[in-house]
Structure 1
Amino acid sequence: MPAVSRELSFVELVTPDGEAVGSATVESAHQQPGALHRAFSVLLVTADGRTLLQRRAAQKTRFPLRWANSCCGHPAPGEPVAEAAARRLTEELGISGVEFVEAGVYAYRADDPATGRVEHEYDHVLVGRVEADLAVAPDPAEVAELRWVAAERLREEIIAAPDAHAPWLPGVLSVAFDLS
């Protein structure tokens, strides 16, 4: 699905406790001051503890060219989070058949100085265990680059260059791996 039409898709607005209270388009939910809405962040992890990161494509409307978790997105209103995550994993990375465990939720708000947009999300953190030789076919409209990184190395990189990473990544990692 092209990025433009995704901006016109609907997201589920939620209370700080995650209770659904309505809907808005992706575009309007990410305009200042931002509307709290349901989202998900997927982390794909190998048996030896490496996590697949993606560098967001240059044309992304929020935090382009920053390193982020394996995949992220928004379920449609009423859509199960794991179902939406599986769909986006296929769309962004060409991966299917991954089973997820929900590690928890991370709520955050972050202003993007490059685009003027805002993320204000009630983010379900999903972890999928995968093989190291996983075949990945990233959509270049979504993903500029991919790499596998060990958890401790990633923690060091975020501390050294926080602006090279999506602002939600440290919180997502904390929920998934307790890397604080």
Structure 2
Amino acid sequence: MVNDDAPTGREALPIELVDAAGAAVGTCSVARAHRSPGMLHRAFSVLLFDASGRVLLQQRAAVKTRFPLRWANTCCGHPAPGQPVTEAAAIRLREELGLAAALGEAGAFTYRAADPRTGRVEFEYDHVVVGPHAGDEPHPDPAEVADYAWVEPGQLERDLREHPERYAPWLGGVLGLALVASR
């Protein structure tokens, strides 16, 4: 279990609490929102597509406080209270992978997932943000990303069904919304 009594770094940043419809209702720290049972808050998940239709996945770094070493979408995070989602997503994409892309929202969904390894809880109103990969080579920040891979969406859907333990629990919802938006 992770001790977050005195959060530091990204865990201390303020995020926006929301109601079931996604309307802002308050703020708290990242660490506090992810303590069991979790507090519903705004988040975003970015998924980039290359010219062949493959999606860019990242393996979350071992030091992540939630679902470390699981494969997830291109990047994710939390906008600051009042910050536009696509602005926050563009910043995180640059920070985590050294990439830039024209990003747009594909939709949003709510999920809740407890991480049995760390005791943390994801309870997020997740904005799915998609964009085309411009062709630049990713330059991952090792504090955020252990590895990355380009994957064909159909292959990913099959592997998510057969081996869900390899993936972040939100990835299926992100992929589903992203694929609908890309059609």
| TM surpasses 0.5 | yes
| In 1, Cα distance between equivalents of 2:104 and 2:32 | 30
**What is the aligned counterpart of 1:167 among 150, 169, 178?**
169
The alignment of Structure 1 onto Structure 2 pairs a total of residues equal to: 174
Structure 1: stretches of 5+ with no match in the other structure: none
| In 1, Cα distance between equivalents of 2:8 and 2:168 | 21
Which whole-Å deviations, capped at 9, do the CAs of 1:8-47 have from their partners, x for residues lacking one? 0001000000000000100000000100000000000012
**What is the aligned counterpart of 1:155 among 154, 157, 160?**
157
Q: Between the two proteins, what is the percent identity of the paired residues?
A: 58
**1:101 CA displacement:** 1.7
**1:134 CA displacement:** 2.2
| In 1, Cα distance between equivalents of 2:145 and 2:48 | 15
Matched, 1:83 2:72: no
Matched, 1:69 2:73: yes
Letter in 1 for 2:70: R
**Range with bigger deviation, 50-59 or 133-142:** 133-142
Matched, 1:17 2:21: yes
Matched with 1:107 is 110
Letter in 1 for 2:125: Y
Superposed CA RMSD in Å reads: 1.1
**1:100 CA displacement:** 1.0
Matched with 2:120 is 117
Which whole-Å deviations, capped at 9, do the CAs of 1:147-177 have from their partners, x for residues lacking one? 0000001111111110100000001111111
| In 1, Cα distance between equivalents of 2:133 and 2:61 | 23
User: What TM-score comes out, normalization by structure 2 length?
Assistant: 0.93
| In 1, Cα distance between equivalents of 2:8 and 2:52 | 38
